[in-house]
Structure 1
């Protein structure tokens, strides 16, 4: 009599099986847009429906709310704005027309992928009365302590710090939280911040939220905390500016921090233009990212990239592939064999042996600027190419030549 597996056994048998994932992902089919292309496309698009106007858009309601903000800031609280829609323009308006009349204003764009806490202190250091403190060569922790001591003195000017998206991964680290908590409870420093993530209130403990600023100036120690007052600042405005600096074809752009999963670049799918070459499996890279990578490598590595790029552009011109609407050239059909690239590199004195060439390629492989796959039955060797379409690859080469 055959054994019938129970639901208990079936559950663990199913859980132990390897999950199947599709190799046809969105980031492989659509090339990433640059920030300029994205902004131009958004500006050219005409809305089909009239956008709803929230109550906060009325000037009278805005002025009343912002006046209340100023009173709460003077009473020792800090403002934390939530709600659907971009709050950037509203907070910038508040900083320009209200905060700037009472003291110095510094704006931090926490939503930028490359934002760091040192960028905030660089802006603060540009304030005339702060320049005499000599904070440039200090660590962010020392700079925060020096600013806290300076603005804790009676009679000093007020400093308003506007932070867009304080819930971004960069601003959520324990180090940045500790620095901001010291500044937020300094008597003459006021923080106005925005959040968009639904779980953002969990970033701060209850003690950090309810901590109050010291009423006396020149105290020995400054407490740490934020003393938040929450305000609904629903604007229903699109997040165009916040999203302009990310790769819109990559799910990792919405990653919430922590380690990222490395993408594999080898594929066994057939190419659409050349069946002898494998296709797919590549991750397209933006022009800005390519320039950042090239700026951090050696001159020999840059020369190797130039050799491969020129060879790929020639292959695109001579190849049968033409760009169709919404679909680019199959770049793998323009790939160059490893042996052919080695001959080019040796002839141009870039790499004289296999070890040197693979060392130069390693940096590009790690960042996805050069990808590879095993050739088909015709060649069988490794083939390499750059995942940039023709006009972007040409632009990268031109900018690289002007820099060198």
Structure 2
């Protein structure tokens, strides 16, 4: 018997069966169901159901976190040796980093950047760092602050101060905790360049977390080894991304007003009290004038000036830029030609936002 002919017959039989199956499959009745017909639940209900999921392996996870806490002294030593800490691994690392900062770094000033927010004002962060550092160290450049406030300086000048301020104390630094340095508001090239230069400043230390698989592609070799000078730590926590996931829509849910309220409230609570007060002025005007197209910028400035919330148009514009970056406020052209500000929320949702912020 010819073995080769048997193999050929087997291959031909397989091919015939394959095309026969394709023919029968194409002739069968196709499903008429559509994706749009799926009964999608309300997002608030889905999040509530997810929040009620009972945690598993609590003892093992607690033991795991305790193991990380035993490494705090090692992490502080790395910071004092001018390394930056980069935490990666499955699970939210927000609680872990904040616990590390509040306990092991209690002697140092700490500023937190929530990289999971849709937009970040990096210059405001650098201004805050410069103000904290200027109060913390004894610098020979006292004229640097008195002649020109930090708020009116460029990012380049702020970086020069953070790197050049002189101090008699050893290990004097301000720690910047960045939750999700690979977040949507920070992952563009220019922002990563500024963060790398910030990390290279002599009085700044970075403690950051990443969650995206391709996060290391944000940096080149110079940024990794010379500027950030990362010390990598694998710290899976298996904790849910409750806060970080607040800004990402759930696949099986449709968005609702309650979600918009929570998102707006979280963003507002991360802003300064003055910025919150300016937002409240605009919100109160919108609620009391529901038929108007919005509040003219000149009217908002006059009210805020009377209430001593802003000292100049420049200050108001900085608040408005922050609102627009976070999509809290939008601009539209009034019928008389002037630009008006409005909050893209229904009256009921806007009232809930005010209640959330006032708590």
- Using structure 2 for the length normalisation, give the TM-score: 0.57
CA contact (8 A) 1:56 1:234 kept: no
Picking from 212, 215, 224, the partner of 1:209 is: 224
Structure 2 Cα separation of the partners of residues 305 and 166 of structure 1: 38
Picking from 168, 174, 182, the partner of 2:189 is: 174
**3-state secondary structure, aligned to 1:148:** helix
Structure 1 Cα separation of the partners of residues 40 and 292 of structure 2: 27
Partner of 1:68: 74
Q: Is 1:57 the counterpart of 2:64 in the alignment? A: yes
Partner of 1:93: 99
Partner of 2:36: 24
Partner of 2:158: 143
Structure 1 residues 69 and 42, CA gap change in structure 2 (3 angstroms): farther
Partner of 1:121: 126
Partner of 2:7: none
Deviation (angstroms), 1:228: 0.8
CA contact (8 A) 2:111 2:176 kept: yes
What do residues 275-315 of structure 1 show as CA deviations (whole Å, max 9, x unaligned)?
Answer: xxxxxxx97662466998x959x969952579xxxxxxxxx
Structure 2 Cα separation of the partners of residues 125 and 200 of structure 1: 28
Structure 1 residues 181 and 56, CA gap change in structure 2 (3 angstroms): farther
Structure 2 Cα separation of the partners of residues 106 and 55 of structure 1: 27
Structure 2 Cα separation of the partners of residues 89 and 24 of structure 1: 38
What do residues 242-289 of structure 1 show as CA deviations (whole Å, max 9, x unaligned)?
Answer: 223x253479xxxxxxxxxxxxxxxxxxxxxxxxxxxxxx97662466
Partner of 2:309: none
Structure 1 Cα separation of the partners of residues 153 and 78 of structure 2: 32
**3-state secondary structure, aligned to 1:105:** strand
Structure 2 Cα separation of the partners of residues 119 and 250 of structure 1: 34
Structure 1 residues 302 and 249, CA gap change in structure 2 (3 angstroms): farther
Deviation (angstroms), 1:234: 0.7
Partner of 1:80: 86
Picking from 151, 160, 169, the partner of 2:175 is: 160
Partner of 1:231: 233
Partner of 1:241: 243
Q: Is 1:47 the counterpart of 2:54 in the alignment? A: yes
Structure 2 Cα separation of the partners of residues 25 and 234 of structure 1: 38
Partner of 1:303: 291
Partner of 1:222: none
Deviation (angstroms), 1:108: 1.3
Partner of 1:382: none
Partner of 1:316: none
Aligned pairs for 1:222-301 within 5 A: 225-244=227-246, 246=247, 248-249=249-250, 286-287=260-261, 295=282
- Using structure 1 for the length normalisation, give the TM-score: 0.51
CA contact (8 A) 2:189 2:218 kept: no
**3-state secondary structure, aligned to 2:70:** helix
**3-state secondary structure, aligned to 2:71:** helix
Deviation (angstroms), 1:91: 0.9
Picking from 107, 110, 113, the partner of 2:115 is: 110
The gaps in structure 1 that reach 5 residues or longer are 1-21, 212-224, 252-281, 307-354, 370-387
Structure 1 residues 30 and 145, CA gap change in structure 2 (3 angstroms): farther
CA contact (8 A) 1:104 1:160 kept: yes
Partner of 1:16: none
Deviation (angstroms), 1:227: 0.8
Equivalent residues, number: 256
CA contact (8 A) 1:32 1:247 kept: no
Deviation (angstroms), 1:196: 0.3
Deviation (angstroms), 1:120: 2.1
The structure whose RCO (Cα within 8 Å, separation 6+) is larger is: 2
Greater per-residue helix proportion = 2
Structure 2 Cα separation of the partners of residues 56 and 393 of structure 1: 47
Q: Is 1:188 the counterpart of 2:203 in the alignment? A: yes
Structure 2 Cα separation of the partners of residues 179 and 238 of structure 1: 30
Deviation (angstroms), 1:236: 0.7
Structure 2 Cα separation of the partners of residues 100 and 181 of structure 1: 24
